[in-house]
Structure 1
Amino acid sequence: MIPFEYRRANTVADAVAAVSAHPHAVYLAGGTNLVDHMKLGVSSPTLLVDVADLPLSEITELPDGGLRIGAGVYNSDLGAHPLVRNRFPALSRALLSGASGQLRNLATTGGNLLQRTRCVYFQDITTPCNKREPGSGCAAIGGYVRYHAILGASEHCAAVHPSDMAVAMSALDARVVVASTDGENRIPMVDFHRLPGDRPELDTALTHGQLITAVELPAPPVGARSTYRKVRDRASYAFALVSVAAELVCDDEMISAARIALSGVAHKPWRARAAESALIGSPATEDAFIAAAEAELAQATPLAGNEFKVDLARRTLVATLRSLAQPAATEQERRWH
């Protein structure tokens, strides 16, 4: 047994103060990722501050038609919420394609954003891993890399971020609301997670003691259609080889707005800026979708063993955009919800 202290927080301020004052403290909500890592020896906090009872479980409609999602909202409740299903189908589909029903009933919005990579070398404490032990090396590079990054990796780390929900939120321009000893601030989702660079142990822009209290989604543009497509090795309870969250606005068959993020390809949800730029002002045609995918993946640098991901990402992105450009397919997706 590895001993640790446990405290139950009564307020957000109490939670932030407790973790900020203790260098090896962490927050505990659903625990679906943290507890696994404690069992594996990947994480050894000496203080757990339980935030499960804090008043962070509400989904509130904002004046502009967006949503404020409390950090304690369970993934199953968020994916099934009528406003999410109707206004943000990409987010609903992403949530309902993640993990299993049992895990979605326990995993929280804030915890989902903070889940760590499922790289087999990160989870195996007998192997070197710069993310787990900075400076020890990266066993994945030159090893088994079927699930690893093709975009944004560094010589220090090629792991990918596992979340489905975070990919959809990145594409939808969400903002993460964070509490600290200095007050409250908001971090754009696209800036919340980090690429590895030479500090792969840092997953997010958070500093020690900061607590996610909510995520805010702006209202979707008028006429927007969004969806989420996930490709994985089996039909359920598997992480993405590649996934795409996308939103399009088409006026007279011309694309006037596009927001896209990819998963399974990078250390963070990958916002596909090159593809978005290529699409805006273009006709909603197969050729335009292919050109956008090519533009985004021109910067891909696969490892020996995951080269297939480049073509898989290209095909998945094109198929996702094609489905959004077809009204009949979109209506079927709405009925799916």
Structure 2
Amino acid sequence: MGARGKRQAFWIEAAIVGAIALFLIIVMPVVLSNFRLNLLGRFLSLAIVALGIDLIWGYTGLLSLGHGIFFALGGYAISMHIKLEDADGGLPDFMSLYGGTELPWFWEPFYSFPFATFAVVTIPALLAGVLGYLVFRNRIKGVYFSILTQAATIVFFNFFNGQQKLFNGTNGLTNFQTLLGASVNTQSTQFVFYSLTIILLVGAYALCRWLTSGRFGRLLMAIRDDESRVRFSGYNPTEFKVLVFAVSGALAGIAGAMYTLQSGSVSPRLMDVAFSIEMVIWVAIGGRGTLVGAILGALLVNYARSFLSEQFAEIWLFFQGALFLIVVTVLPDGIVGWLKSQGIQSLRGRKQAFTYPSLEEDPEIQQERQELETKSSE
């Protein structure tokens, strides 16, 4: 594809993404109830973290089972500011219950809303960058990298779960009231959060599309396919993997903040190993290495979970496990991957079969056959 073709494809894709975003902002609030719209907003925020996982797993070949850490840290960062704003200069309500008399020193910067929003992005990104550097410089990859990220999730889960005075322990931070002077529980404020989630999702998709295009994207895929050859070619894969892991962590932090604002709470449950594995399942079902598949998988699985948990509260987990097994065994490239590799080809084959007559129906062949039959009879 030439430069002109690439520009046309870019503008077509941008137009499609913009149209979908406008549809979600303008049409869906009219069609859905407030409860369903809030659910859609939460699922769209989960699609942001799915994009980050697709970036690090689908394109770079690093399966992370610890993105729940970065997701929860983003939620805690924005929640700490809200709790301080609600306290109006005093201690957050839960600290008094546990006998706290002074605000911990690391809570004080979160009085500032700009600092809190900055922390939503930078704290998960820095943690991912440091963790990635310590792991990647020792050339740890594959299943060992997955085990390390899973172990980190267990460490953070137990730490936050046991800090009653600092983070309210198992209960987490709840009962949000105001943000920038506006009530966070009103319909208008929740619509602002919903719209902001869509804008951030579009921005995250654009960032991931930019990173995975061109030379940088080809280098990421080369690291995924044959890291040793990349190193022998003169590149240092460690730097690229650390960068991508940090970006992925930042996206997870943003997703966690938006999810927290729309769900009204954040707790160590978001750092549970099972939740991090669920994130991977979304990407696998949608199709890793496609970006669009990550978004589709997050929406599809979470909506299926919501519907099945309402209809079959006791056995919906079996449906989720069965869906994952079907995808792994029948559609290993996910839904979008199958559509790209086989679905479109099968549709083209059916279209050609419908458009062009078969050899038996070709008039020239029928005429030649009649002539042969006449000669043979003579």
- What is the TM-score with the length of structure 1 in the denominator? 0.25
Higher helix share: 2
Between the two structures, name the one with larger relative contact order (CA 8 Å, sep ≥ 6). 2
Name which one, 1 or 2, has greater alpha-carbon Rg: 2
Higher strand share: 1
- What is the TM-score with the length of structure 2 in the denominator? 0.23
